[in-house]
Structures are given as C-alpha cells and as structure tokens.
Chain A
Amino acid sequence: MSKDLKIKCLVWDLDNTLWSGTLLEDAEVYVAPETLKLIKTLDSRGILQSIASKNDHDFAWSKLEELGLSEYFIYPQINWEPKSTSIKKIAQSINIGTDTIAFVDDQVYEREEVSYSLPDVLTIDAEQVAEIEEMPVMIPRFITSDSKKRRLMYQSDILRNKIEEEFSGAQDEFLTTLNMKLSITEAIEEDLKRAEELTQRTNQLNTTAYTYDYDELVFFTQSPDHLLFVAALDDKYGTYGKIGLVLVEKTTEIWSVKLLLMSCRVMSRGVGTVLISFIRKLAKENGVRLQAEFVSNERNRMMYITYKFNQFTEIKRQEAWSLLENDLTNIPDYPTYMTINTGPHSPVV
C-alpha cells in the first residue's frame, strides 16, 4: 500500500469484533460504546463501512437493525463465502481498489485468508479497534461537506440503480422520472477541497486529467484570466453532491477549456453535454472563440467523443495532446428532463 493512499472503506467482521459474543451461540451480543463511537466517527469522515461476516444473514441483519447500526453499512456480505470473496464484491460494488480497503476481524485465520488473496487489503486485529480512529490511513486529507454525506450518496445510488435496472422504458423516460436539478456556479472557497479531490479521483470522465492542488485552485478563483465552475446534481432520491468541474482560461479573443470532468456516478445523466452547452453559450455571449484541450489516455475516450459530438473540431494535435475549437452556432437547448440553475457568473470578459 502506497503511503499516500487513504482507506475509503472499513469492512467489519461481526462476532467478537463489531460486537462481543457469537450471535448463533450466545443469547445476547454487546456493542462496546467505543465501537459505536468509532463507527459514527468514521462515517462522518466520509469513510464507508461494510460487513464481511460468516453468519445467518437475516438473523445478523435484524440484530444490526435492532442495535440501530444497519444504516451505517453498505453492500454488507453476511454469508458463508470466504471473506476474500466478500471483500472483492464490496470493492467492485463501491468501485474502489482493494488497496483502499481495511478489514477488521478477531480471527487470525480470516485475516490471513484475506491477505493471501488480496494482499493490498489492510488487515486489522479486532484487539486494535481502539487504535483505528487515530490511524493516519483513517484520516482523510480533507473532510468536505460531501465526505460527510458520502454514505448517504452511495445509498441513494444503490436505490437509483435498482430502480433503473427495473425500469422497462427507454433511457430518456427514466431520466424524466428523476426530477434532476443541476446547478453550475462559479467555485467559491468552500468548493475547492472537493474540487481538488475531483481532479485527483476522476480518471474516466476527464478531458485532460490535469491535476490542481488547493492553492492553484484558489488562484484560479481569484484570477481575472480564469473561470472555475463547479456543478452539483440533485434528484428526487437525494444529492449526488458536487460532481463536475470546468476550468476555462481566458484571453480577450479566445477562451480555452483546460479541464472538464465529471464523477463516474453521473455517467448516464447527460451532464457533460449540458456543461459544454453552458460554456458555449457563455463564450458566445462574451463574443469570444471557444477552444478546449484534450489529453487522451486509455480511459477517457468518452470525453473525446463528447467534445466531438458537441461541435468541437480538432485543430491541432501533438501525440496524446490535442486542441479543439468549437463552432458556436447551433447550441442545443438544455434537455427538458433536467432543471438547470446557472446561478450568478461573471457576465463579462
């Protein structure tokens, strides 16, 4: 595990780890107040939590409900599968690498089984539970308002995905049912920690993958030669949080989009086209030409296609880097399935 990696999900064993006692043998199990506090603390830091327990699923889950703890765990794996299998499932479901998962269990056998199959997972002895709160890997670099809501956002995603899977109509009908609200606003200071996180975490839906740190982002918000926009999405199931970022570098004649990115969680929501249309309209209002940089990598072809299908044409190319220019005629209206709030933005060059 690289020293910079932080834990994104802590996976708990139940018997003699999360609680004292063995559910199928003892009449009562008991959760220590320190454990309760730890679960809540990690949750508020935006660290996700799940379960890998060999137990009777329904019995264990109803116990967690009774204890008022069930809501804290996403994709719980309570079954008789090897725990490495359970942890793989959790990692795939959340879509994170196993090198960002920690697993706490009282049994050395279980920890070794996981370490053997998934050497990247950080395994922790249940005796060390008291130390987890202060472990450096459990302290995120930033705690933003989005990190506090992270678990809720995943839970809304789980619900949405389930409804989308069961929806029989075409995609546009499904999108209409969501009552989405997209806001695009100029970034302010409180957005910038999340903005930095987005530049570092987003690979696939990212036009250049340029990363910017907090100080650079602060500079862009103050610079007269830059525009930095943050997009946030909500729908009837809850908030997706801040999911998009656009950085524009301005000269008197040309605006250039240095970076346009979106979280993978909004991949099929039409946000990319709306963000591009927004920038196109703004460039047109300001009487400037609009260009965009693109740096291709193995994963971001979708963004190249998005640019090309929104009337960008390549005008220059140098290996993986290219420069595109937009034809500002024929800008489509925003889709009817989404309410767009563009808030106040600098109206002038």
Chain B
Amino acid sequence: MNEIETKVRSFLGKYVSDPEVDGDLDLFSAGLVNSLYAMQLVLFIEQEYGIQVTNEDLDYENFKSVQAIVQFITLKQK
C-alpha cells in the first residue's frame, strides 16, 4: 500500500467503520458515503495535496473507489 492510499484510507476511516474495503469497491453505489463525505473528500484532496479539483475533474469515476482516488491524486500530481 503506498503512502497516498494509506492517507486516503485513513480519511475514509472517519466516515465508514471498515476503511479496509476492497480497493475497487464503488463506495457510492454501495451506499457507504454521502454528500458531506463527497465534499470533505474533495477538500481533503485539495488541501492535503495542493491540487485544484476543477468541475471537469469532478467526475464520479475519479472518486468512486479507493483505487480511483489514489489514481486521480497520482495523475494530478504529475
């Protein structure tokens, strides 16, 4: 598990009781998270990594699973 994933899972731990979910699990479809989580997630990524999340970036695909979030952060950092 890389450093980004560790941080993402630790963030997730504030919202879901088991943050060690499968990396591919669609968190929203699974009903695990809500709008406040979504907003906090965007703010977390922006603040923790100094990334500007634009309206175009706000694609469900970029945030739907732990894997997707890690990949998004990695790509934006380049």
Question: Can you give 26 contacting A-B residue pairs, CB < 8 Å?
Answer: A170-B14, A170-B15, A170-B16, A170-B19, A171-B14, A171-B15, A171-B16, A171-B37, A172-B16, A173-B17, A267-B36, A268-B34, A270-B34, A270-B35, A272-B35, A273-B35, A302-B35, A302-B38, A305-B38, A308-B58, A308-B60, A310-B60, A311-B60, A313-B59, A332-B28, A336-B31
Q: What 0/1 pattern do residues 332 to 349 of A give for CB contact below 8 A with B?
A: 111110000000000000
Contact residue among B29, B35, B63 (Cβ-Cβ distance under 8 Å from A306): B35
Nearest CB of chain B from residue A295's CB, rounded to whole Å: 13
A172 x B32 contact (CB < 8 A): yes
Q: Which of A171, A272, A304 has the most CB of B within 10 A?
A: A171
A332 x B60 contact (CB < 8 A): no
Nearest B residue to A269, CB-CB: B34
| A330–B28 CA distance with the chains assembled, in angstroms | 10
Number of interface residues, chain B, beta carbon within 8 A: 23
Contact residue among A173, A302, A304, A333 (Cβ-Cβ distance under 8 Å from B31): A333
Check B50 for interface membership: any CB of A closer than 8 A.
no
A309 x B38 contact (CB < 8 A): yes
Nearest CB of chain A from residue B22's CB, rounded to whole Å: 17
Check A33 for interface membership: any CB of B closer than 8 A.
no
Q: What 0/1 pattern do residues 313 to 336 of A give for CB contact below 8 A with B?
A: 110000000000000001011111
Check A88 for interface membership: any CB of B closer than 8 A.
no
Check B8 for interface membership: any CB of A closer than 8 A.
no
Give every chain B residue within 8 A of A273 (Cβ-Cβ).
28, 34-35
Q: What 0/1 pattern do residues 111 to 152 of A give for CB contact below 8 A with B?
A: 000000000000000000000000000000000000000000
Check B42 for interface membership: any CB of A closer than 8 A.
yes
Check A301 for interface membership: any CB of B closer than 8 A.
yes
| A309–B37 CA distance with the chains assembled, in angstroms | 11
Check A68 for interface membership: any CB of B closer than 8 A.
no
Nearest A residue to B42, CB-CB: A305
Q: Which of A273, A305, A336 has the most CB of B within 10 A?
A: A305
Give every chain A residue within 8 A of B17 (Cβ-Cβ).
169-170, 172-173
| A309–B27 CA distance with the chains assembled, in angstroms | 10
A268 x B60 contact (CB < 8 A): no
| A270–B16 CA distance with the chains assembled, in angstroms | 13
Nearest CB of chain B from residue A81's CB, rounded to whole Å: 33
Give every chain B residue within 8 A of A314 (Cβ-Cβ).
55
Q: Which of A170, A330, A333 has the most CB of B within 10 A?
A: A170
Give every chain A residue within 8 A of B29 (Cβ-Cβ).
330, 332
Give every chain B residue within 8 A of A333 (Cβ-Cβ).
31
Q: What 0/1 pattern do residues 18 to 49 of B give for CB contact below 8 A with A?
A: 01000000001111101111110010000000
| A310–B63 CA distance with the chains assembled, in angstroms | 11
| A333–B31 CA distance with the chains assembled, in angstroms | 7
B28 x A268 contact (CB < 8 A): no
Give every chain A residue within 8 A of B34 (Cβ-Cβ).
268-270, 272-273, 335
Nearest CB of chain B from residue A267's CB, rounded to whole Å: 6
Q: What 5 additional pairs, Cβ within 8 angstroms, besides A270-B35, A301-B39, A306-B35?
A: A171-B14, A172-B15, A267-B35, A306-B39, A335-B31
| A65–B39 CA distance with the chains assembled, in angstroms | 42
Give every chain A residue within 8 A of B36 (Cβ-Cβ).
267-268, 302
Nearest CB of chain A from residue B15's CB, rounded to whole Å: 5
